[in-house]
Amino acid sequence: MTIHKEGRTLLLVLFLALAAVTTASFLFLHSPGSCIIATISLLSFLTVLQFFRHPSRQWVTGNDLIIAPADGKVVVIEEVYEPEYFKDKRIQVSIFMSPFNVHVNRHPISGTVKYFKYHPGLFLVAWHPKASTDNERTTVVIERPDGKALLLRQIAGALAKRIVWYIKESDKTVQTEELGFIKFGSRVDLFLPLDTKINVTLGQKAQGGITVVGSWK
């Protein structure tokens, strides 16, 4: 287990600030007030620390497999119209990332980034029906050499107000390698061809880089 690079500066600043507050409380307050402040500071730091944990895992890969891009709960599996890039019907699979999940996003397949766009927007709760189209988000289309492609969308929520991505158009992607990071939770959507065999169920807990979301023939 390591700390992800996206959290290192924030955690250092938070540690110094909480340490200063705690030290001041012991200097100027009497117990139990100073003990309460110290406890709150410790719990606050540990809470933020777990947001940025980066566990080591044995990644699952496969040429015809679509691997979960994020940790979280599968909250949507349905046929929808995708209007931004494909402009046709797709199977949408959405994974909700709570503040307690690992926040790293990973490439579900290997291929080439054919399309990328960042959309500024709102910060509706991640399970809101309009979050996929109205919230701050990124849209990534990855295409395999054989022409099969999927669309992935990072979506910010009410708490997650910073999306980080490590890709641009024409980049080559490697399955399970890091695509980006959503700070403090939110949601990742996949839009898959209609003939995709879906291997997950509603309510299932997915692990990024491990859970097989679906497969292609």
Catalytically annotated residue among 25, 41, 186, 215: 186
Contact yes or no for 92/189 (Cβ under 8 A) = yes
Catalytic-residue membership of 186: yes
CA angle 159, 165, 170 (to 5 degrees): 150
Please report, for residues 23, 105, 142, the alpha-carbon distance to residue 159 in angstroms, rounded to integers and kept in the order given. Answer: 29, 17, 27
Per DSSP, the three-state class of 67 is strand
Please report, for residues 20, 44, 161, 170, the alpha-carbon distance to residue 14 in angstroms, rounded to integers and kept in the order given. Answer: 10, 9, 18, 37
Single-letter residue type at 162: R
Does residue 83 have a cis peptide bond before it, meaning omega lies within 30 degrees of 0? no
For residue 210, give the nearest of 99, 108, 112, 126 by alpha carbon: 108
- For residues 91 and 3, give the distance between their C-alpha atoms in angstroms, rounded to a whole number: 34
Catalytic annotation, residues? 186
